[in-house]
Amino acid sequence: MNRRATGALLLLALLWGGSFPFIRVAVPEFGPLPLMALRALIGAAVLVPMLTFSRRLDSLRDRTGHALLVGVINSALPFVLFAWAQQFVPAGLNAILNATTPFWTALVAWAWLGDQLDRRRIAGLVIGFGGVVILAWERASFGAGGSGWAILAALTAALSYGVSGSYMKRFLSGANPLAIATISQLSASALLTPLALLNLPTALPSAKACWAVLMLGVFCTGFAYAIFFWLMEKVGSARATTVTFLVPLFAVTWGSLLLDEQVTWDMVIGGSVILAGTALTLGFSPNLRLPLRRRPNPSAASAASAASAEP
């Protein structure tokens, strides 16, 4: 990648990594449903003018219904699950669990679309889930004070991203990604807003929480989507997917600097194992520079997890 694309990739990882601390700040005061309804609404408000200017809405044609459903499984559901989990686990840990998305994508594509899993990708799945076990081993208590349900919610959110990736490959191939993103955010906001109105916070959120919501919606959703789709057009989905490796690193750093979250050894070890498994699952060579070229057709894992990498 050239310097411009590399800079865009780092900026995207910075934005998506920052989404976890912003959620951590805002969710106690707003609650998961109102927070994510606002995120989708603000994100859509940023994306709609971009899509209008690009004049690519017609790429969906008669597939708008599929894009609306993607808004449920790729935005509304995982957004809320991650926000709920964020109340009980550190932002960095949530980001690391989000990095399991390529594993779920590969499994769903294998079960639904018939994508083959070669030895390297199977090894990546085994290694990656081993990293999840390392992270969850001492935390996965479902009793009082345990983080088991939060970890399960985050993994379910990552699974939802995996399902949406295969769904988009099956029903939305060839459609403009910016159009899909915009329609899906509109769909997510339409679904979440009525639920949010039934779960409004009892006290007025602080200015700090409101700023976190604004940053989350404008930069971590609206502008981040625009950067991501520019990257997909310029360098391809396989290279754009490398953001998967960077997001947890930025999220852990943000959480440590802004929220004084401790970076534990099991997070370092488990996160490293998950990222190593992610590299193998996505079909990247050991130096992480180029995707492997021995498969004639790009796998659903690379393209789908790229479209579903956002936290």
> In this predicted structure, what is the pLDDT of residue 145?
66
| Tens-place pLDDT, residues 202-253 | 999 999 999 999 999 999 999 998 898 888 778 776 677 778 778 888 888 8
Domain boundaries, the chain: 3-307
Regions of the chain short of the pLDDT cut 50: 286-306
> In this predicted structure, what is the pLDDT of residue 299?
43
> In this predicted structure, what is the pLDDT of residue 138?
67
CA-wise closest residue to 149 among 86, 203, 240: 86
| Distance, C-alpha 36 to centroid of its chain | 14
> In this predicted structure, what is the pLDDT of residue 287?
47
Structural contact between residues 243 and 279, judged by C-beta atoms closer than 8 angstroms: no
pTM: 0.86
Output the six-digit token pair for 146.
């345990």
Q: Angle at Cα 100 formed by Cα 73 and Cα 173, nearest 5°?
A: 45
| Tens-place pLDDT, residues 55-77 | 777 777 788 899 999 999 999 99
Q: Which ranges in 31-147 belong to alpha helices (H)? A: 32-54, 64-71, 77-85, 91-98, 101-108, 119-136
Output the six-digit token pair for 250.
């930025």
> In this predicted structure, what is the pLDDT of residue 144?
67
> In this predicted structure, what is the pLDDT of residue 154?
94
